[in-house]
């Protein structure tokens, strides 16, 4: 750590950087300033010290969340620099949107890297029109998300978290046996979105004896699973419906009232995609009225807000958008982020480029 911070401390000061406490002493010591590092627009929470240090060794990080400035002022300041930023790092979710306004404000941008698995916060068509390359974390998270999805299916069907509360409250001796769960084997699991994550979920569930169905934009020739052209028909033939698709205008509320109706009172829904893939208000109504059997939700429409009505439901398992995150995948993500930036700045091909659709 100390050597990394030592390197970081040689970076020249920049109005939008995080404070560099060692800078004053470095300047005071009369050392030659290091060559100017490339500027990097940075829109991300959730950092760790090692990654922060590694990034600052390589770039002058213009950190929006640290700047405290309104977005237009922050972008104008960046664009007015003698060497304005050619690259941006953005996280997934609602933290920042890369849209026409942002691209207009900083026309020097040639590359956007998303540290999220999704790219619903990036206007891919606008980027393509302007020749701005977009890459993301690719499959770094995929196995973790798939594992979490399977864990949630088992949890909801077998009532693990609910039984956990029961035992932890000391109720077992007084109340006796906990109600029976439902078997995973033989269940028909309908996966919405058979991309990398969906395919990994399917592979895992095959080992449990599940029957896999799926819906996606196109049928896949390479898989033995039954394809459904629309989600309503998929839900009709599924005991468990798993949302594993990206969020875009076609998939917003892809699980709506009709789909929940088709899933039916013994069906459960798992969402490890994006909160807005599911009509949350309709989901809550269906759960309340017993029109579906349960839900496992890692994502919500207005994170971190979770509708309080869910808190008292024993047939719902909720986690705080953690399906993507393990210490191992985060470490892979940092490597991928820095590798992608280095590829862009050295003119090499971008391995995980996202194409517009």
Q: Which residues are designated catalytic?
A: 274, 303, 321
Residue 89 vs residues 49, 67, 115, 145, 346: alpha-carbon distances, Å:
17, 15, 7, 22, 17
Residue 164, interface with a copy of itself (CB under 8 A)?
yes
Q: How many residues does the chain have?
A: 357
CB-based contact 271:278 (threshold 8 Å): yes
Residue 123, interface with a copy of itself (CB under 8 A)?
no
Residue 224 CB contacts under 8 Å (≥ 6 apart), including other chains: none
C-alpha to C-alpha distance for 263 and 245, rounded to whole angstroms: 18
Residue 301, interface with a copy of itself (CB under 8 A)?
no
Residue 65, interface with a copy of itself (CB under 8 A)?
no
Residue that has been written with the tokens 């989600």 in this structure: 231
Beta strands in 8-131 (DSSP E): 39-43, 60-63, 87-90, 111-114
Query: x/- string (CB under 8 A) for a copy of itself, residues 201-230?
Result: --xx-xxxx---------------------
Residue 80, interface with a copy of itself (CB under 8 A)?
no
Residue 188, interface with a copy of itself (CB under 8 A)?
no
C-alpha to C-alpha distance for 282 and 144, rounded to whole angstroms: 28
**Span from 10-18, 168-176, 232-240, 347-355 in contact with a copy of itself (CB under 8 A):** 168-176
Task: Determine the straight-line distance between the first and last CA of the chain, rounded to whole angstroms.
Answer: 42
CB-based contact 48:71 (threshold 8 Å): no
Among 3, 29, 222, 327, binds a copy of itself (CB under 8 A): 327
Is residue 72 within a helix (H) or strand (E), and if so which, with residue range? helix 71-79
What token pair was written down for 228? Answer: 């459904």
Question: Which residue lies nearer to a copy of itself by CB, 261 or 303?
Answer: 303
Among 161, 256, 315, 353, binds a copy of itself (CB under 8 A): 161
Residue 274, interface with a copy of itself (CB under 8 A)?
no
Residue 168, interface with a copy of itself (CB under 8 A)?
yes
Among 108, 110, 139, 166, binds a copy of itself (CB under 8 A): 166
Tell me which residues touch a copy of itself (CB under 8 A): 45-46, 143-144, 147-148, 150-152, 154-155, 157-161, 163-170, 172-173, 176-178, 180-186, 203-204, 206-209, 303-306, 308, 310-311, 317-320, 322, 325-330
């Amino acid at each position: 750590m100390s050597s990394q911070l030592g390197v970081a401390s040689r970076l020249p000061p920049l109005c939008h950087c995080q404070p560099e406490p060692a800078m004053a002493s470095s300047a005071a010591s009369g050392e030659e300033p290091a060559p100017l590092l490339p500027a990097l627009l940075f829109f991300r929470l959730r950092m760790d010290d090692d990654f922060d240090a590694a990034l600052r060794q390589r770039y002058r990080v213009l950190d929006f969340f640290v700047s405290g400035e309104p977005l237009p002022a922050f972008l104008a300041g960046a664009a007015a620099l003698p060497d304005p930023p050619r690259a941006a790092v953005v996280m997934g979710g609602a933290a920042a949107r890369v849209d026409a306004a942002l691209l207009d404000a900083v026309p020097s941008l040639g590359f956007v890297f998303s540290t999220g698995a999704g790219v619903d916060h990036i206007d891919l068509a606008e980027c393509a029109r302007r020749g701005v390359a977009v890459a993301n974390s690719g499959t770094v998270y995929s196995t973790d998300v798939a594992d979490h999805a399977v864990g949630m299916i088992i949890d909801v069907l077998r009532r693990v978290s609910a039984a956990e509360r029961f035992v932890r409250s000391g109720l077992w001796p007084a109340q006796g046996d906990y109600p029976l769960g439902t078997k995973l084997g033989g269940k028909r699991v309908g996966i919405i979105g058979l991309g990398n994550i969906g395919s990994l979920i399917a592979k895992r569930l095959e080992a449990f004896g599940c029957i896999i169905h799926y819906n996606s934009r196109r049928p896949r020739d390479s898989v033995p699973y039954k394809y459904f052209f629309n989600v309503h028909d998929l839900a009709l033939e599924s005991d468990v419906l798993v949302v594993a698709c990206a969020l875009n205008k076609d998939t917003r509320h892809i699980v709506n009232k009709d789909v929940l109706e088709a899933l039916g009172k013994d069906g459960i829904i798992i969402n490890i995609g994006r909160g807005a893939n599911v009509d949350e208000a309709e989901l809550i109504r269906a759960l309340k009225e017993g029109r579906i059997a349960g839900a496992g939700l890692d994502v919500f429409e207005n994170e971190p807000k979770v509708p309080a009505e869910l808190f008292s439901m024993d047939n719902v398992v909720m986690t705080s958008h953690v399906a993507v995150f393990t210490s191992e995948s985060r470490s892979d993500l940092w490597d991928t982020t820095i590798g992608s930036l280095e590829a862009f700045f050295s003119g090499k091909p971008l391995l995980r480029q996202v194409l517009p659709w």
